[in-house]
Structure 1
Amino acid sequence: MAHRALVIALLPAIGLRALAVLGFPPAILFYGDSFAFLREELTPGTTRPSGYSLLLALLRPAHSLTLVTVLQHLLVLGLAVGLYALLRRRGLPGWGATLLVTPLLYDEFMLLLEHMIMADAVFIVLVAGAVALITWRVTPTTAAVGGLLLGLAGITRTVGLPLLILTAAYLLIRRYGWRPLVALLVAGALPLGAYAVWMKAEKGTYALTEADGNFLWSRTMSFADCGVIRPPERLAVLCPNMPVEERPYPPHWLWEDFSPLPKVPGTANRNKLAGEFARAAILAQPGEYLGAVVTDLGQLFRWERTSVDEKTPYKLPSSERPISSSVRGVAEAYEAGPAATRVVEPFAGWLRAYQRFGYVPFPLLTLVLAGVLVAAPLRRRWDALLPGLAALALVASPPFLAAFDVRYVIPAIPLICLAVGLTFGPPTSFLAGRRGATVPVEGRTHAMGSYDGGRADG
């Protein structure tokens, strides 16, 4: 069987997901983001876009959180198969392509996100699917579908927005022609524009969220010194009231009682003032800002994602946690019954044991990504740069805009796997000759049926 290695790898991966479904029914809830996504009234989100809420609304008539998580598990398994198919098409042997998708199949955090009522698993599939499609073949059609997927990713998590611009720059620099570029941008703009219009109708402003300024302000709480910034009186209310060395991690400044942010009246006004303060702080203390970013990125060199005694929402629960009365109705209305995560042994225990070792350490992942970004240009594997740079953007941007979070690194995993295969797989000329296509000569022709559209490089 040509795909024996993939089938062998898929069976245990499916088994792990079955353990999640059996051990933690109906789903794992992330306090309190999951409940915001599950609300019955559909309105644009204040702190995050509501693309995932729209998907949940489509599935609401089934009244099954289990259906949501099973669908997310299947989407990621399908993504792994799709990446495998692309890598095989690029000449990798079955065992090699299978090896490269195993992090996607077996990473414990990927399993966790698939089983959570959170936007991450869907976001991962949208982004990796778009990049893989455009890497596979550039035509107006594939560019349009890729752009649409990236636009949907942008209304699912705003960190996906730069990827649409990055992909457009890739098509432009590689000179694929104006038709794929226009198709990408127009298709990507459709969901983004529709969402912005919805936001205008509901909240009076064209935007995707009303919290970008809040998040950037929370980032500056790592270093902001109002004695240096000297903000005007209208911004001084946002000055931190504790020494730098005593301040908690930035996300806590968004919600906790000690934060001055929630005390500023008006959602739009709060976001506006927070953004102004943040920009003033960064301009006044650029070195401290970059230092905070570098400190956060240093967590990429931590071998263990979470220590044994660390309190984190990213561990599989060992006991049931009751849902607070303020949001219980939201979850139970969606489920049409009890919605708290149950812990069913021995399945839950088996998966908790797997979580302690079933992951790719971040230092290894970081080293591989750096290697790809260096090796791809040296080997003239230009198509590997799109997934490589997209992975870099996903990993590096959150510490600049908000803070580092383990969860924000996981979407880079499938992109890094794809980039590795494209960088170190067989050369294009070998594949073209093997398939009977034209071998590039002096960068004037192309192989494997890619759309030319005015492009002049190989």
Structure 2
Amino acid sequence: MLAHRALVIAMLPAIGLRVLTVLGFPPAILFYGDSFAFLREELTPGTTRPSGYSLLLAVLRPAHSLTLVTVLQHLLGLALAVAVYALLRRRGLPGWGAALLVTPLLYDEFLLLLEHMIMADAVFVVLVTAAVTLIVWRVSPTTAAVGGLLLGLAGITRTVGLPLLILTAAYLLIRRYGWRPLVALLIAGAIPLGAYATWMKVEKGKFGLTEADGNFLWSRTMSFADCAVIKPPERLAVLCPDMPVAQRPYPPHWLWESFSPLLKVPGAANRNQLAGEFARQAILAQPGGYLGAVATDLTQLLRWERTAVDEKTPYKLPVSERPISESVRGVAESYEAGPAATRVVEPFAGWLRAYQRFGYVPFPLLMLALVGALVAAPLRRRWDALLPGVAALALVVSPPFLAAFDVRYVIPAIPLVCLTVGLTFAGARTPFIGRRAGAEQREPAEVA
């Protein structure tokens, strides 16, 4: 225990923050319509998002306790910090250094918020980081299979997790760890993805994970699309925006608001297909506009404050009870078997709202740490740092290309950035060429 006293000292206040969150905002924080879609009793593949998180909630439903869900998510967050700490110690970092690098996992206010939300994000963060941590810990067919399974589960939790399975496979291939870990990773990852896609086929007649990838990409093009340039065929022209570019709202609004031409297209599958076709034509016709919109979104990473004091955002802890609309009240109260609206209990809630104003890692520092570590890792022959680093970069960069920037989408990269920095400056080097098929596995600390 004395060897890990720095971690114990770091964790005690972090546990206290989570206790305050549970006491201050019982039973959970509900996010717009998304939380209620996850909580529905009838289990069906989601239209706009995969239902992996719904499956977890269904397993916990018999307890009829949203508090149980949030407490479990808080515990998973704490356990993840311990796992990252353990890997960094294994790679040679001193206790104080490893504990320092996991403090963002323990104290970042947005991670606290996501752990207390009925949303898929906290579970997604745990699945992705746990998979990467396990594979970096030691590559073998067993660890690769478990890591692949976790990444597959991440893919049916949030589709942005899908590229991470491919990136991990590429990592094993480039590092030449042999065919057995690679095959184990891909087969294990394909199991939850294939099972979910088959469920989608049975329920909705389409083999896939969602019916909205085209919709989201189309909403991205609303930042720049000019139908006079695109010249879409008549069947796609209905999706043309009817307002000047300067007056158009942010892309997500085009998915739900009444002004959106997307809502004029009947049928979820047909709408998604046509939207995808329009988006691809728009990007090919206006590549500069597309890249410009992505670059504009990515400048949000240079913003020091997550949210301004007077900014309206769903990512602030509430100051008063949030009433649930009648259309979805029954969904939440059925799961909770009683009142489910988020209550605000003072003084605990007030203390946490004050903490939220400063308890975070500013995105510019996070991105500087990530880029610096990705540059330094090859120079220092810390090849294992590249997997979490590239995974973090993919999580940060891909949403603006596929939909739009959202501060929530950056948060899953935080644990991976901490892991990347720690592995880059750890004491034990790792060989570029990993385990070949049939060769003995050597521990990284034994490699010169």
* TM-score normalised by structure 2 residue count: 0.97
CA 169–280 in structure 1, closer or farther in 2 if over 3 Å, else same: same
2:366 matches 1:365:
yes
Give the letter for the 2:29 counterpart. Answer: I
Query: Which AA in structure 1 matches 2:146?
Result: V
Equivalent residue number for residue 106 of structure 1: 107
Q: Deviations over 1:403-458 (max 9, x none)?
A: 000000000000000010110111337xxxxxxxxxx7x96989xx9837xxxx99
SS in structure 1 opposite 2:392? helix
The residue aligned with 1:401 is: 402
Match for 1:451: what amino acid? Q
2:288 and 2:237 map into 1 onto residues whose CA distance is 21
SS in structure 1 at match of 2:3: coil
Which deviations, in whole Å up to 9, do the C-alpha atoms of 1:262-313 show, x marking residues without a partner? Answer: 1100110000000000000000000010000000000000000000000000
Deviations 1:105-161 (A, max 9, x none): 000000000000000000000000000000000000000000000000000000000
User: Match for residue 293 of structure 2?
Assistant: 292
Quickly say closer, same or farther: Cα 1:183–1:322, change in 2 above 3 A. same
Please show how residues 19-418 of structure 1 align to structure 2 within 5 Å. 19-418=20-419
Write the distance in 2 (CA, Å) between the matches of 1:29 and 1:266. Answer: 28
Give structure 1 regions of 4+ aligned residues with deviation exceeding 3 angstroms.
442-446, 449-452
Asked whether 1:451 is paired with 2:441, we answer yes
Name the SS of the counterpart of 1:304 in structure 2: coil
**Residue identity matched to 2:315:** Y
Contact 1:221–1:247 (Cα < 8 Å) also in 2: yes
Alignment partner, residue 421 of structure 2: 420
For the residues of structure 2 that align with 1:444 and 1:258, how far apart are their CA atoms? 55
Residue type of the alignment partner of 2:441: Y
Q: 1:443 to 1:404 in 2, by over 3 A?
A: closer
Counterpart code for 1:317: P
**Per-residue deviation, 1:24:** 0.1
Letter matched to residue 273 of structure 2: K
Q: 1:8 maps to which residue?
A: 9
Question: Does the 8 Å contact 1:104/1:110 carry over to 2?
Answer: yes
- Give the Cα–Cα distance (whole angstroms) in 1 for the partners of residues 379 and 87 of structure 2: 22
1:434 aligns with none
What amino acid does structure 2 have at the position aligned with 1:306? T
Contact 1:47 1:209 in 2 (8 A): yes
User: Aligned pair in 2 of structure 1 residues 110, 137: CA closer, same or farther (>3 Å)?
Assistant: same
Alignment-mate amino acid for residue 331 of structure 1 = A
CA distance in 1, matches of 2:169, 2:434: 22
Shift of 1:373: 1.1
Q: Deviations over 1:81-115 (max 9, x none)?
A: 01101111111110000000000000000000000
Structure 1 residue 378 displacement after superposition? 1.2
Letter in 1 for 2:117: M
- CA shift, 1:321, in A, is 1.4
Distance 1:139 1:255 in 2: 45
Shift of 1:380: 1.4
Contact 2:177 2:435 in 1 (8 A): no
Aligned equivalents of 2:95, 2:298: Cα separation in 1: 35
**Offset at residue 390 of structure 1 (A):** 0.1
Indicate if the aligned counterparts of 2:74 and 2:112 stay in contact, CA closer than 8 A.
yes
Per-residue CA deviations over 1:24-74 (Å, capped at 9, x if unaligned) read 000000001000000000000000000000000000000000000000000
Structure 1 contact 107–359 (Cα < 8 Å) conserved: yes
Distance 1:443 1:37, change over 3 A: closer
2-side partners of 1:367 and 1:92: how far apart? 21
SS in structure 2 opposite 1:2? helix
Structure 1 spans left out of the alignment, 5+ residues: 430-439
Aligned residue type for 1:59: L
Task: Tell me, yes or no, if the aligned pair for 1:138 and 1:450 is still in contact at 8 Å.
Answer: no
Contact 1:91 1:426 in 2 (8 A): yes
Distance 1:444 1:125, change over 3 A: closer
Note the C-alpha offset of 1:377: 1.1
Q: Is the 8 A contact 1:176 1:451 kept in 2?
A: no
Separation of aligned partners in 2, 1:264 and 1:183:
42
What letter is aligned with 2:28? A
Q: Which amino acid aligns with 2:141?
A: P
For residues 269 and 47 of structure 2, the distance between their equivalents in structure 1, rounded to whole angstroms, comes to 9
Between the aligned partners of 1:450 and 1:40, the Cα distance in structure 2 is 50
1:428 counterpart SS class: coil
Residue 350 to residue 146, structure 1, CA distance change in 2 (3 Å):
same
Query: Which sections of structure 2, spanning at least 5 residues, go unmatched?
Result: none
Deviations 1:137-188 (A, max 9, x none): 0000000000000000000000000000000000000000000000000000
Kindly report the root-mean-square deviation, in angstroms, between the aligned alpha carbons of the 2 structures. 1.5
* Corresponding letter in the other structure for 2:22: V
Alignment partners' CA distance in 2, 1:102 and 1:137: 24
2:282 is aligned with what amino acid?
A: A
Q: Between the two proteins, what is the percent identity of the paired residues?
A: 85
1:3 aligned counterpart, secondary structure = helix
